[in-house]
Structures are given as C-alpha cells and as structure tokens.
Amino acid sequence: MAVCIEVIAKENYPFYIRSTPTENELKFHCMVHTSLDVVDEKISAMAKALVDQRELYQDLLYPTEDYKVYGYLTNSKVKFVMVVDSSNTALRDNEIRSMFRKLHNSYMDVVQPLLQPGGLHPVQGL
Amino acid sequence: MRGEERQRRTPAHSRALGWDPGELGAPRPAPRAQGTCRAARPGTSLTGARGCAPRPRWERALSRVAHLLVLVGTHRAGRGAPPERTAFPTTKRQRGQRPTGRASPFGASVVAAAQSSHWQTPIACAPGLGSAQPPAVGCGLGAGAAAGGAWEVQRLPDARKSGVKFRDSHWCRALSLRPRKCFLCWGRWVQGSLACWSCLWGCSGGDGPRRSVTSPRLPSSCPGWRRQASAAAGPGRGAWGFCDIVNMSPTQWDLPVELCCRPMAFVTLTGLDVVYNAVHRAVWDAFCANRRADRVPISFKVLPGDHEYPKCRPKRTSYEWYIPKGILKTGWMNKHLNLVPALVVVFYELDWDEPQWKEKQSECATRVEIVRQSLQGRNTKVAVVLIQKKTPLPPGEDVIASERAAALCNACELSGKSLFVLPHTDHLVGYIIRLENAFYEHAQTYYYTEIRRVKSHKEFLNKTTHQLLFVRHQFKIAFFSELKQDTQNALKNYRTAYNLVHELRAHETNILEIKTMAGFINYKICRLCFQHNTPLDAIAQFRKHIDLCKKKIGSAELSFEHAAWMSKQFQAFGDLFDEAIKLGLTAIQTQNPGFYYQQAAYYAQERKQLAKSLCNHEASVMYPNPDPLETQTGVLDFYGQRSWRQGILSFDLSDPEKEKVGVLAIQLKERNVAHSEIIITLLSNAVAQFKKYKCPRMKSHLMVQMGEEYYYAKDYTKALKLLDYVMCDYRSEGWWTLLTSILTTALKCSYLMAQLKDYITYSLELLGRASTLKDDQKSRIEKNLINVLMNESPDPEPDCDTFAGKTAQKLWADRISLAGSNVFTIGVQDFVPFVQCKAKFHAPSFHVDVPVEFDIYLKADCPHPIRFSKLCVSFNNQEYNQFCVIEEASKANEVLENPTQGKMCLVPGKTRKLLFKFVAKTEDVGKKIEITSVDLALGNETGRCVVLNWQGGGGDAASSQEALQAARSFKRRPKLPDNEVHWDSIIIQASTMIISRVPNISVHLQHEPPALTNEMYCLVVTVQSHEKTQIRDVKLTAGLKPGQDANLTQKTHVTLHGTELCDESYPALLTDIPVGDLHPGEQLEKMLYVRCGTVGSRMFLVYVSYLINTTAEEKEIVCKCHKDETVTIETVFPFDVAVKFVSAKFEHLERVYADIPFLLMTDLLSASPWALTVVSSELQLAPSMTTVDQLESQVDNVVLQTGESASECFCLRCPSLGNVEGGVATGHYIISWKRTSAMENIPVIRTVITLPHVIVENIPLHVNADLPSFGRVRESLPVKYHLQNKTDFVQDVEISVEPSDAFMFSGLKQIRLRILPGTEQEMLYNFYPLMAGYQQLPSLNINLLRFPNFTNQLLRRFIPTSIFVKPQGRLMDDTSIAAA
C-alpha cells in the first residue's frame, strides 16, 4: 500500500492528502511538495517537445532513502502523487500504475460535475 | 642483486659492446628530434635501427611536438639537436633486453628504443602521460623563494576542461572570507594560496596537517574548505552566513587529506642549495614552476643530502606467528606520499674537464653512499645529476667525458641510466622536463617493484589470523598502483579490498574500524570511477556501500557516531560528485549532489538527536582524567580504532571500566560538537545544488530546514530571515499545512527576540484562514495578540528553550516600558491575515449630484470576536478620505468589553458590511474614483496599534487563488438571510466613475436634408429647458463631430451668419457659443449654417452645456450638465451640368471647324430634392473662343424642381489656331443659384463649371447655304450656296447637283471652277418644289481635286439636305414670290 496519496491542482496547490501514519503528515507534505519540481520539469519538457501526452503515468519521481515517490498527471494537469515505502518490494511498476488508474477513476467520479453536483472543495478535501 | 649490477657496470664492459668513449658526454643528436627515424650518426647505427622500429602514429606526432621542445633547449653548435641530457648506457642489458616490469604504454618496440637511446625516452613518455589525467595547474605556487621544500601537484581528472578559472574563483571566495592568514598555522599567507610558505613548502615531518598540504588546492573534503566554498556559493539572496567558520580543525570523521589527494610519485632532490645558490635555485624553480597538465605527475621535495628517511623495518621472514593489530596504519599513506621517495636524485656540480676530478668524483660517490645508507632496505632508486657549466659536445666528440662518465658510474655504483648531465645554459626548462620524465620512469619502476613486493607476501598469509592483512595488502597494492598512475588496476584492487573488508568478522569492538576502512576504500573507488568518467559505477558503488553499512550501527551508546559517519559518507560522495560536475560531468535534476548533501544533513540531524539523548549527562559529570582519548603519539596507530584499546583484536572487552570511561569521554566530546552548524552547512550545500538543478521547492524545503536548524541553534535572526524568505513560495502555491508549520517556528523566533512587528504579523496569519492550527492554538495566539495590543507581554510560546524563554520575557518587559512608536502598519497583500476585507462600489458609475456609495465587507477568521478601533479608506483623490473613516474613541481595555456590540466588532465567520457615502466633487466629473487602500486599525494608539493595510479594494495573498477555486467549485451555496451575503460572492469593485448630472433640457434640430454642395445649409437648433430652476451659462458647441476624416474638416465650415458665404477660414466646429440663461420652460432657437464643400455624409454634433445649482445630500452644488445631439447629414450635388457641342444643324460634333460657327449647349439637371432657383448663368469664354452673337443668360430665375433641367445654347466660333494638341479651352460656365426655399438674405451660390476642351480642325472649303426656312409647293425656292476657299491655294472645285424627285431646279447642274485663296464663290439655284412635306433637296456634290478627303459627307454637315415644303395656300405669300 502507498503510505501517502496526494491530489494536486493544476496550479500546484493541494486538493487532497491522505497518509498513513498521520503523525507524519507534514513530512509527506514536504515530500510531495518537493516532488512537484520533477513533475514541473517533466511538464515543461513535454511542452517543449510538443508531443501529444499519452502517458499519464510519470514514473518514479525520485527515491529517497526510505520512500519512493511516484507521479501521475491527468490531461488537465491535475497531479497525483503517491509515496511508497522503499522497503515494500511487492509494489512493482504495474501495481503502481493500476493504483494510479483507480485513483484517477475515483477522482473523476468526484469531480465530474454532470454526475454529481457539488464536487470538490479544495481545502476540505473530497 | 646489487653485486651483479656492480659487475655489469664496468667501462670495459661497455667498450666491449662497441661503446665509443667519444660518445660519452658528447651531445648526441636525438633521432626523434629530426622528426624521422634515421640514425643521426653512423656510430650509433644500432640506436638508429632501433629508433626505426614502427611506432604508432600518435606517438610520431607527439615526438614532433617534443622535437620543438628539444630545439628550444638545444639550439647550439650547428650540430643539429644536442641532447637534453646525456645518459650513459653501460650495460649489456640496456642494449636489448627489455627490463622487467616496465609498463610503458607504447609497446615493446618503443620501450626498446627508449632503452638504447635514452634521450628519446622522455619524449616518448610525455604523450603517454598526457593521455592520462594531467595534473591541475598549480596556480599561485611557483617561482617563489623557498628553502628546501617539497612540491606536490595534485592532479585532478582532466584539468584542461576545468581550466584555471574555476580554481581561481574558488580561491577568491575562500580568500575573501579568510584573508591573509594561513589556514593551517595562522602564519602570513602566500599570495594566491591559502597557506603560508612554511606550510606550503613544509619539509617533511609527519606532524599534523602540515605534512602534505603543499598543494595550493585544498582537498575538497577539508571541512573548512567546504564550508567556505559553500558559504560563498550559497544562495544569492539573504545574507546568512555561518556562525563559526574559524573552527577548521578536522574532526575525526573527516577523511584524511592523504586519502583525498591524488597520489603522485614522490621524488626527492638532494644536493640543491636553493637558498644561497642561484643556479640551484633556478633548477628548483624549473622543477616546480608552471606545472601544467602536460608535465608528469611527480611530487618533488628538496631535502638535504644527509636526510634521514624513515627506517625500513626488517623484512619478515615468516608470517606464521604474526598477528596484525589493525587494518591500516594511520601513517602509511603519508609515508609513501611524502616520506619514502621512489627516487632520490643527487645533484652535484661537476664538469667533465674538472681539474680535480678524482676528488670530486669520490665526493660524489660519498654523497650517493650516504643516501644509500639512509635508504637501507628500501627499493628506492638513486640517480645522479651533474650540474655542468659547459654545454656538452655531441656524442663521440668528447672522449674525456665518456671516460669520466663511466668512471663516475663505477665509483657511485650507478647504472648509466641513472647518471644525467644538466648543462646550466639558457634552455634549462627543456632539460628539466626531460629530466623529470626520466625520473618519472624510475619512479614507476619503483612502484612496480613495491606492488610486486606486497603481492609476494600474499602466499604466506592464512585466512584465519591474517584476515586484516588481506585488506591491508590489497589496499596497499591499489594505492601503489595509484602512485604509479595505473588507475585501472588501482580501481580493480580497491574493489577487491572493499569486498575483503566486508568479509571481516564484525563485532561491536571493531565495527568502527571496518566502517572507517570501508569508507576509505569506497571513497577511492567512487573517486576513480568519476575520474574514469563512469559516474553510474560510482553511484552504484556508493549505494551498495550505504546499503551494506547502513545497519552496522555498532555500540548503541555511541550510535551518534554511526550517524556522523553516515553523514560524512554522503557528504564526501556529494563532494566527489560535485567535483566531477565541475570538471565536465552533467548531472540531472533527479540525480545531483544535492540529494547526497541533503541525506548527509539528514544523518547529521539524526546524529544531533542521538547525541542529545545519549549525551545528556549531568553537569557534574567530569571529563575523565587521564583522557582515554589521548594516545602516546597523539595519533592513533590504526584507522578507526579506539584509543584506549589500540591493537586489541579480541571481541571481549578486557577492561569494561576502561571502556565505560572511553565511551563517556566520546559522549562528552560529542556534546561540544556544533551540530547545527554542520547541519546548516550541509543544507546550504544542498540548497546550492538544488538551485542549480531547477528544484525550487526542494530548495525552499531545505531552507525551511535550515531555518529550523538556526532556530535550534538559537540564531533566531537568521532563522527568521530564512523562513520569511521561503514563506511566500508556500503561500503562493497554497500549501497551508506547510506554511502553518513554518509560521509556527517563525512565531517562536519572533517571540524569543521580542520582535513586535514580526510577532504580530505571524500571529495575524496564524489566526487566519490559511492556518491549519487547531482552535485551541488559535485561541491562545489570539489572546497573546490582544495582550500585545494592550501593551502587555504575551504568554511564552510552547516548546521554547527555557533559557531563551526567560531572556525573551525580559525583552518583552523592556518593550512594554519603551515609549515611542507603537503603531505598526502591515501591508496584507503579501500574507493572509485573519481579517479579510473587500470593498465594493454600488455602481460602476455615479452621477455627480448623487452621493457615491460603497460597502466595505469585513470578515474575521479568528476563533473569538475582535474589535477594531478604526477603519479608514483612502482614495486616489485624497479629499474624500475624510468622509470614509469610522473611528471609535475607545480605551485600550475596551477591546475586550462588549465585543459583540457595535459595528466595530468582528464576529468570527460573519460578514460585516459597512456602508460609506460621500458626495463627489464636481471637478471629478469624468474621472475615476479609486480606493487605493483600506486601513483597519486593531488596538489603539495608547496601547499598541496595528494597522492592516489592504492595497486597492482588499484581497490578500490567498485571494486570487480562492477566487479561482470558487469559480471552479460546483458547490451550491446555502441560502442566507436577506441581510447577509456569501463572502465568496462578493466581488471587489474598487473604482467607480463620476459622471455628470442628467440634463433636463431638450435639444431639437430642424433642417432640410440633404445638404447641397457649397450651399449655406441651415440648421436650426432649438433648446428648451425643462429644469425647475433657471439654468445659466448655456453654451452651444456645434459643427462637425470631431474624430472624422480629416478631409471633411477642411471641407466643412460652420458659421452662425447665413448672410455671407463662408470661406476656408471658417472652422468646422464652433465651440462654446454663449447663448445666455434660460428660465424654466423657456426655449431658444439658434440658426447655424454649414457649408459642405464635398459630397458625402457627415456627422454633426450639437452640444449644449449649462450650469445649474442643485443640492445633493443637503449640500449646495453647482452642476454642469450637458446634452448633445448628433445628426448625420448627407451632402449631394445640387445639379448635374451636361455640355455638348453641336453644329448649326444641332448635330453632335466630335470636333469643331475653325472659323465655322458651332453651338455650345448646356444642360443643367437638378438633382436636389428641393426646388432650386437658378438666379443666373454666365458663360465666360476662353480667349481662343469668340461669340457669334451676344452671350445672354437664357435661364435667369428659372426654378427647377427635382429632375427638371434647364438648357442654354450659345453660338460660338473658334478662329483657326493651327493644330492644337489636346483641344482648345472653351471657358467656364457659371451658375448662380440658391434653394428656392432659402430666405432672401441667403447669399447666392456661384458654381463654376469648367467647360470641356474642344478639338478644332481646319477645312479646305466651307460651304454654307442660304435658303428660306421653308418652301411652298410650286413656288420658286431660291437657294444660294456660298463656297469659301479656306486655304492658301487656288482650288479646283467640281460641283454637280443631283436632281431630286420633289424638285425641279434651275442653275448650273455640273460645273468646274476655280476659287482663289480666301475668296468666296456664290452658286445660285432656283428650286421649285413639286411635293409638300419634308423633302430631300437636290443634293450638291463637291469634289476638291486637291483634297480628296473632302467628302460629300463632310459637306452635308454644313448644308441642309432637306426642307419642309408647305402645300399651296390660298393666300399668296408675297415674300416667297419675291424670293422666287
């Protein structure tokens, strides 16, 4: 399981954060926030290359000693960041991908205005 | 061995091999110097043949480079190239045998050549070295005065890329921080270096840091260096530095300098008196000055001839009983870098023709012997260099030289290879370079034998007792390989050593030693990997190293040591990585040294935590005496051992008491370590890196950590500076959780420093909506804030250092007693305070006679209600400020009383609306009124007052983002009571326009469109007042509306006076025509005349302004009102004039004939929808035209309705003018006209029409007929034809008349006659009409013999062809009879 999941708006402010264990929330916040550097760089590289972005999954953003940080970018530039414990070797690339896809789907369910009026409030979360 | 050599080294031996004594000492031309392989002299054919051995191409190329060098050094005696040095091959072995162990990069053939002709060797060696990593440029060091010193060049990977520049810049930085003091001994420093002379040149001695820091380049792992560099390279903004950069003594965790430097062959030079002997000095300078990348990597040192080298321990014959006491001795690396030379060179001044040769020779031999004595048992080579005043002759010419050389070799027991001649001439550097290349070869051989020697021990070792030795030997082999510049083998051996280290049995007692050695070897491996440009290998090795060692914590009591060691590992790797980047490696965002520094900082933090919990001894605990950390020598024997049990390998603690004391000593020492400083240094290193690799957030994050660390280090000023610097980043991205955490620390800092303004600012923000603090926290902060506003001390912040807290309380007490400015104005646009403000004008514009109204909405986000003391609004026109102030004279203690009453109180979560009203100034009509700021004062002047200042109509750092979120949100807002509004739904409207009062008059325009070109078009303006009072100063502005086509302005003229025509001087727009005053209901009329010179539509503006006295909000004001009317008027031509030329027969004429009358017909067609009166018309003829009869107007006072036309006809004649190109001007037709409806006094308009030009043609003969207007049946009709000759010739004319059925006629039917020039011939005919009606006349045919072009058709234009014949009447017409 991921130890922290965060949804970040296009303008890089956090929508939603959920982490276990909660007493370390600040640390995860920092980690996710700093990982945006890498995402930003990837976005600007994509803009430069003028390629059609098909791949939403952004791969391992950076490894720290204890955690791995993965990123995912929707077409509307909403970012999902997931922090995984480095020691958790059960989580391969494929698992991470499918977790992101699930997250994306549930995110869509929440924000889709036509389906459910009164979607997302930015700070209070989902 | 030595005995054997001695035997070989006999002159006889060399002679026997064909050694020509003449060659001895005589300069031998260097075959390579010729750029070819041919033998320079017949006597040296063997050499030449060897020289011709195939060489790789690059080598040949490089030898040409060397050739230049040779020429520099040997320009002499016309003998080609004299040698850089002479060498004396005296043994058989040198002639062909390849010496074992020589590892030249050039292959066997080259080696062989080098063996036989020694002067080639240095040349051949040079390129090989060049291809290895060249040494760094030792800037700043060089031709300085130095007594008996050593010189080392630290080589860096590919210094060519790095260049001197970056080095210099580092120097400058370092120097600017620590000027004029040697960083080692605090002596006077040397220009361009960090050290003093004695440290730079410091002669040997294994004492402390002096021993090897001779290179100007500080090793990167030196803590002081790193600190300085990072301080200088730190982030540009913010001037945080480091508390204490003076503390430069290396800690036990720093890697030893000799490990971090680049090993270079160590060669000592003896017999040089560099202080008193200028020649020696020059020689030494040539060795050490200007050591660029292309020079061989040798570390030179000048030593006295009788220098005592470290004693060689007697060789061990068996390892059977030997138990090693540790892995690596602390002195070993230094010993081989700086103490035990690979080669000792004995310099000796001796010329070949020395008169006292014998004595000198034996003295030299003695010197060599002394050196040999000192090096007893070592493989160190000895070489002799003879410093000679004379330049040697070419080989073979100096017989004495070769003889004496052989003798000297013999006396000194030297091989010919080790004897060199150094002529002291102009080309010293060239000779020196050759010399040192030769030295380098000797050194390489030495290290090769050393490696062999170490390897040979291996077989005696066994795995049980000698595990440590496996590591040690492997390390030594690797280190010697490095000295030999064989980095590939060095790397291989280090890798093996690394694996061996981890095979050692680890226990708590030796874990530190294992880790230390693992760290050393890992450092070397990573360093070499970077050097070999395989950074991924380096990273992989480092990761492996960390993974292997992470868990090897060792003693729990000293676990901070492990953290310190880990931190150091990361830092050292970061340094290596950074160094490699500076030399050209490219790093990326996700893999850069910053991560390693960050991790190092993380471990340093952990170390601090551990130290804090493990070293919290009572103050009474004394440092143990005697110091268990002291050793007899002052240093440890082996790396990584405990000083109180050195060399003890047993895993059992033999003396637990001693162990306890030792641990205590370490713990107490650890307590004195400035942890925060270490952490901050590492963090700032990381910040610099992340800045470089575009990681702004990472940078901010680390700066926050730095700030927090400063906070722990009690440097609150710097902490605040850093935190304040990064806050805006978090704020702008809306990471409130992180911001709150930063703010909390910042609040503590400001509390502890009693920084009022900062304290208040942070409190304001922590109470605000951006803060994620719990309500109880907010309550506490709000209470403190209110306290501060009432000029009382706030309660201390939780978790503050107790001592600092006490100091803070004192500071706060001082603040309270301090009188002076207690008003703080805080701009809120840069943060998110707990009061929100929005200003909104009720309308985007207000009429000047209506009061301007706007609301200020306030909302507090704090947990408890708060009262404000004043609210004032500022405008761009400051005169309004006075009207928009709410103030309550309240005492300081009232802040808390009756908090919910009155509008001065803000209840959390409720939006408070405050209405403001004022009357705008009449001067501001047409201007924008803007709210420039809103000031809200909390507290009051008697206590402390904080003024929150919103720029514009409110909004703070978070507003724009919130607006965005609100726009995106689909959330439905719950319904609120009528008098409340949703905060989000309030949109700031910070400006409004003041517009003039609504006019109450009517303006009517009366006119008859369209206007006619050039007429005085009358426009009647009727103004009627509907105001209730008299209006004054009514002014009319009328005319062409500005802003249209510029041509229109020039062609439109307006006047009030219709009686005279206006000309160009009249304006297009009449402005501010005073009309006077108007009583209520009164009406006035004004005529306006417009003259439009061109057709087209024009917009006309009629603008009426007036003044009226009125009241607004019980205030008398004079309003200026205005009303405007715009009308578009089309201008058309009043009429079209058509002109045509016809013949007297009213036939259309293409051209007229000279002197023959024709008719000009004008046709004036009215195009005006209104009736026109043509007052008169006039034809002004051009001088070329004459009139036949009088030119009287025929259309005077004709009135034309639309579509009607008026025609005139004038008979004109054009005298013959010859042939005029383009026709002849006719003249002008002038029509004077006006509208029929126009009044009498309206001037008549004269429209001038230029008549078309007409083409005039001459004809040879003009015929005109004279006949009555009609005939009568059976009554004679006399016709006379006049034929005029218009030419200057006599004309033959043939005339014939063709009969017609309707007539009988009499006269000449056919005739041929002549007409003289200018004369006229008359032909008379009498026609007798037979039929009534319109009858064809008998036609007259004329044929001009001279002018065949003159046709009857032309003739028909002049003469009638038919006539109307009346029937016979009853009454006889007398006239017709008479005519007949």
Question: Are residues B30 and B40 in contact, defined by beta-carbon separation less than 8 angstroms?
Answer: yes
Nearest residue, CB atoms, B694 vs list A41, A61, A120: A41
- Of the candidates B734, B741, B972, which has its C-beta nearest A117's C-beta? B972
Contact between A34 and B965 using a beta-carbon 8 Å cutoff: no
Please determine, for residue B945, whether its predicted confidence score (pLDDT) is greater than 50: yes
CA distance B137 to B290: 7
Report angle CA B1021, B1047, B1164 to the nearest 5 degrees. Answer: 75
Q: Could you tell me the pLDDT band of residue B969, with boundaries at 50, 70 and 90?
A: low
Q: What is the mean pLDDT of residues B967-994?
A: 78
Please report the pLDDT score of residue B702 as a whole number: 92
- Which tens digit of pLDDT belongs to each residue from B607-664? 999 998 998 888 888 888 888 888 877 788 888 888 888 887 777 777 888 888 888 9
* Contact criterion met (CB < 8 Å) for B589 and A41: yes
Is B155's pLDDT higher than 70? no
- Residue B498: CB partners within 8 Å, gap ≥ 6? B518, B521, B522, B525, B541, B545
Q: What is the DSSP string of B502-542?
A: HHSPP-TTTHHHHHHHHHHHHHHHHHHHHHTT-HHHHHHHH
Residue B729 DSSP SS3: helix
Identify the CA nearest to B734 among candidates B704, B762, B705, B769. B769
State residue B1377's pLDDT score: 56
Region B273-278: mean pLDDT is 88
Tell me, yes or no, if B1121 comes closer than 8 A to chain A by beta carbon.
Answer: no
Give the tokens for residue B1377.
Answer: 């009879």
A64: chain B residues, CB-CB within 8 Å: 599
To the nearest whole number, what is the mean pLDDT of chain B? 77
pLDDT on residue B473: 92
The pLDDT value recorded for residue A52 is 59
Tens of pLDDT, residues B866-911: 888 888 899 998 888 888 888 875 544 444 444 445 667 888 888 8
Q: Is A121 on the interface with B (CB under 8 A)?
A: yes
B705 contacts B683 by C-beta, under 8 angstroms: yes
> Are A34 and B695 an interchain contact pair (Cβ–Cβ within 8 Å)?
yes
Q: What is the DSSP string of B361-409?
A: HHHHHHHHHHHHHHTTT---EEEEEEEESSPPPPTTT-HHHHHHHHHHH
Contact (CB<8Å) B701/A30: yes
pLDDT of residue B556: 86
Structure tokens at B732: 């702008």
DSSP classification of residue B336: I
Closest chain A residue to B731 measured between Cα atoms?
A13
Decide if B935 contacts B869 (C-beta within 8 A). no
Q: In the structure, what pLDDT confidence band is assigned to residue B398 with cuts at 50, 70 and 90?
A: confident
Tell me which residue of B876, B877, B902 sits closest to B887, measured CA to CA: B902
Closest CA to B688 of B678, B679, B698: B698
Name the nearest CA neighbour of B1236 among B1086, B1015, B1056. B1015
Identify which has the larger pLDDT, A30 or B169. A30
**Nearest residue to A63 via CA among A44, A93, A35, A41:** A35
| Chain A interface mutation, best of B589, B602, B739, B960, highest count of A Cβ atoms under 10 Å | B589
Backbone φ and ψ for A20, nearest 5 degrees, come out as: -125, 140
Strands (E) across B424-516 are located at none
> Could you tell me if A123 lies within 8 Å of chain B, comparing CB atoms?
yes
Q: Which A-chain residues 87-106 have CB contacts (< 8 A) with chain B?
A: none
- Whose tokens are 């400006």? That residue is B991
Q: What one-letter code names the amino acid at B667? A: Q
CB contact under 8 A, A113 and B970: yes
- Terminal-to-terminal C-alpha distance of chain A: 20
Closest CA to B1020 of B1036, B997, B998: B1036
CB pairs under 8 A between A and B: 68
CB contact under 8 A, B737 and A29: yes
Instruction: Report the percent of chain B where pLDDT is more than 90.
Output: 19
Tell whether A36 lies on the interface with B, counting CB pairs under 8 A: yes
The whole-number pLDDT of residue B199 equals 36
**Measured between CA atoms, how close is B548 to chain A, in angstroms?**
14
- Whether the pTM exceeds 0.80: the reply is no
**Closest approach of chain B CAs to the CA of A60, in angstroms?**
10
Rounded to whole angstroms, the Cα distance separating B26 from B392 reads 5
CB atoms within 10 A of CB B420: 23
Q: Is the separation of the CB atoms in B956 and B767 below 8 Å?
A: no
Q: Looking at chain B from residue 654 to 693, which residues have their Cβ under 8 Å from any Cβ of chain A?
A: 690
Report in angstroms the alpha-carbon separations of B1057 from B607, B1087, B1095, B1175, B1242. 102, 8, 22, 21, 9
In this complex, the residue of A26, A36, A62 whose CB is nearest that of residue B737 is: A26
> Do B513 and B639 contact (CB within 8 A), yes or no?
yes
Task: List the single range of A79-88, B240-249, B813-822, B1337-1346 with lowest mean pLDDT.
Answer: B240-249
What is the distance between the alpha carbons of residues B234 and B720, in angstroms, rounded to a whole number? Answer: 17
Cβ-Cβ contacts under 8 Å, A4 against chain B: none
Q: Give the bridge partners for B1256, in sequence order.
A: B1152
Q: Give mean pLDDT, residues B969-979.
A: 69
In this predicted model, what pLDDT tens digit does every residue of B449-459 receive, in sequence order?
A: 999 999 988 88
Cross-chain Cβ contact A123/B961 below 8 Å: no
> Among A65, A118, A123, whose Cβ lies nearest the Cβ of B972?
A118
Q: Does any CB of chain A come closer than 8 Å to the CB of residue B698?
A: yes
**Amino acid identity at B458:** K
pLDDT in tens, B540-590: 999 999 999 988 888 888 899 999 999 999 999 999 999 999 998 888 888
pLDDT score of A84: 86
What residues in A contact B730, CB-CB < 8 Å?
Answer: 33
Q: B39-48: per-residue pLDDT in tens?
A: 333 333 333 3
Interval B49-92: pLDDT, tens: 333 334 444 434 333 333 333 333 333 333 333 333 433 433 33
pLDDT in tens, B193-220: 333 333 333 333 333 333 332 333 333 3
Which residues of chain A does B601 touch, with a Cβ-Cβ cutoff of 8 Å?
Answer: none
**Ramachandran area for residue B1352 (φ above 0: left; ψ -120 to 50: alpha; else beta):** alpha
Residue A100 near residue A57, CB atoms below 8 Å: yes
SS3 content of chain B, % helix, strand, coil (to 5): 35, 25, 40
Distance from CA of A116 to the nearest CA of B (A): 9
Give the nearest chain B residue to A114 (CA atoms): B970
Sign of CA dihedral B746, B748, B753, B758: positive
**What does the CA dihedral B841, B842, B843, B846 come to, rounded to 10 degrees?**
-80
Contacts of A26 in chain B (CB under 8 A): 737-738, 741
Over residues B1346-1366, the pLDDT tens digits come to 787 777 777 777 788 888 998
Residue B740 touches chain A, beta carbons under 8 Å: no
Q: What is the pLDDT of residues B819-848, one digit of tens each?
A: 566 788 888 888 888 888 999 999 999 988
User: Is A25 an interface residue toward B (CB < 8 Å)?
Assistant: yes
For chain A, say whether B503 makes contact (Cβ under 8 Å): no
Shortest Cα distance, chain B CAs vs residue A65, angstroms: 8
Q: B982 in contact with A at a CB cutoff of 8 Å?
A: no
A37:B971 CB<8 A: no
B733 contacts chain A (CB < 8 A): yes
Whether residue B190 has pLDDT greater than 80: no
Helix (H) or strand (E) holding B442: helix B428-457
- In tens, the pLDDT along B1058-1077 reads 788 888 888 888 888 898 88
Q: How far apart are CA B1274 and CA B1366, in angstroms?
A: 10
From A13, A17, A37, residue closest to B697, measured CB to CB = A37
* Closest by Cβ to B697, choosing from A14, A33, A113: A33
Amino acid at A41: E
Give yes or no for A66 touching B (CB within 8 A). no
Closest CB to B696: pick one of A13, A37, A113: A37
Structure letter (DSSP) for residue B770: T
Nearest 5°: the CA angle B1250, B1254, B1255 is 160
**Average pLDDT score over residue span B180-196:** 39
Q: Is B961 on the interface with A (CB under 8 A)?
A: yes
pLDDT digits (tens, 9 = 90+) for B487-534: 999 999 999 999 999 998 888 888 899 999 999 999 999 999 999 999
Contacts of A36 in chain B (CB under 8 A): 697
Contact list, A120 vs chain B (CB under 8 Å): 969-970
Q: Do the beta carbons of residue B602 and residue B293 sit within 8 Å?
A: no
Q: What pLDDT sits at residue B197? A: 38
